[in-house]
Amino acid sequence: MKLKYDLRIIRHPKELTYQIKSYEKIPIELFDNAFDGSKHIAFRIAEAIKEKQRNGEMIKLGLATGSSPLKVYSELIRMYNQENLSFSNVITFNLDEYYPLDPKQQESYNHFMNQYLFDHVDIVPENINIPLGNLSLEEVDSYCKDYEDKIDHLGGLDIQLLGIGRTGHIGFNEPGSTINSKTRMVRLDNLTRRDAAQDFNGIENVPYKAITMGVETILKAKEIYIMAWGQHKADIVKRAIEGNQTSDIPATFLQDHPKVK
């Protein structure tokens, strides 16, 4: 049972799903490996994009960075290349960005999104929204409010993709974030900075702050997929899906969402 919550290397997913059901407060689905799980999510996103296309509507996607969504993005790119999946009706809002950090720097989430998704599909550049890390301090508050308002004015996010940090963060809503938090500047937990150290070539280069959508912003999405691949996430996943709702583990706030997986 050591690997009970490891979504990557569970051998008998059905059997374990049955055993876990009695504890879980967030519905979970287990996959043999990250690729199968990512394909499943990419398929759902593609179906949603196509459904909106048939109705002549735009779809609003909330996107994450980091290692968790990488295979979802590569699968979406494959569908674009091989199955004519178009992103022409897609509007995206990314969860977060380090602060301060120039969007052109390769460690930035702006750079990440171009590299792993946007440069490879037919999304309209004006439809891409990613928080900027190079604002002046005076600009940040009104920028965050505008980001939040823009999502609301477009009718909210249809699908939100999430990873989970080892602190229990979603987006960069670190421990202490409240259920009604909105897009804002936050201070990063030291564990989060340590986890990012490799990307920045040393913890001393990891910014201390970030701009992130709030917990409330995330919870307003109509449908949410949270991904966790690998043994190192097992402990925090267990606490997020079994524990009581608490600001100490912001991912627990997903428990009340009507359509989260």
Active site residues: 174
Q: Which of residues 40-69 bind ligand F6R (CB under 6 A)?
A: 64-68
**Residue selected from 6, 75, 96, 189 as contacting ligand F6R according to rule CB under 6 A:** 96
Instruction: Identify which of residues 96 and 223 has a Cβ nearer to ligand F6R in the complex.
Output: 96
Q: Helix 109-116 to helix 70-83 angle, to the nearest 10 degrees?
A: 40
Lookup: tokens for 230: 């690998």
Lookup: tokens for 210: 């970030």
- Binding segment (CB under 6 A) for ligand F6R, from list 2-10, 130-138, 159-167, 247-255: 159-167
Instruction: Identify which of residues 58 and 191 has a Cβ nearer to ligand F6R in the complex.
Output: 191
Instruction: Identify which of residues 30 and 251 has a Cβ nearer to ligand F6R in the complex.
Output: 251
Task: Indicate the SS3 state at residue 155.
Answer: coil
| 170 makes contact with ligand F6R (CB under 6 A) | yes
Helix H or strand E segment including 223: strand 223-226
The residue whose two tokens read 């997903």 is 254
How many Cα atoms within 13 Å fall on the side-chain side of residue 146? 9
| 95 makes contact with ligand F6R (CB under 6 A) | yes
- Binding segment (CB under 6 A) for ligand F6R, from list 119-127, 143-151, 160-168, 214-222: 160-168
Lookup: tokens for 186: 């936050």
Name the minimum Å distance from CB 68 to ligand F6R. 3
Nearest to 64 by CA among 181, 162, 180: 162
In the chain, the amino acid numbered 168 is G
Name the minimum Å distance from CB 54 to ligand F6R. 30
Nearest to 62 by CA among 89, 39, 94: 94
Give the CA diameter of the chain: 54
Name the minimum Å distance from CB 82 to ligand F6R. 26
Instruction: Identify which of residues 19 and 187 has a Cβ nearer to ligand F6R in the complex.
Output: 187
Task: Indicate the SS3 state at residue 182.
Answer: coil
- Binding segment (CB under 6 A) for ligand F6R, from list 14-22, 33-41, 151-159, 163-171: 163-171
Nearest to 240 by CA among 258, 260, 259: 260
**Residue selected from 8, 60, 71, 169 as contacting ligand F6R according to rule CB under 6 A:** 169
Task: Indicate the SS3 state at residue 210.
Answer: strand
| 163 makes contact with ligand F6R (CB under 6 A) | yes
| 214 makes contact with ligand F6R (CB under 6 A) | no
Give me the residue whose beta carbon is nearest to ligand F6R: 163
Residues that bind ligand F6R (CB under 6 A): 64-68, 95-96, 163-165, 169-172
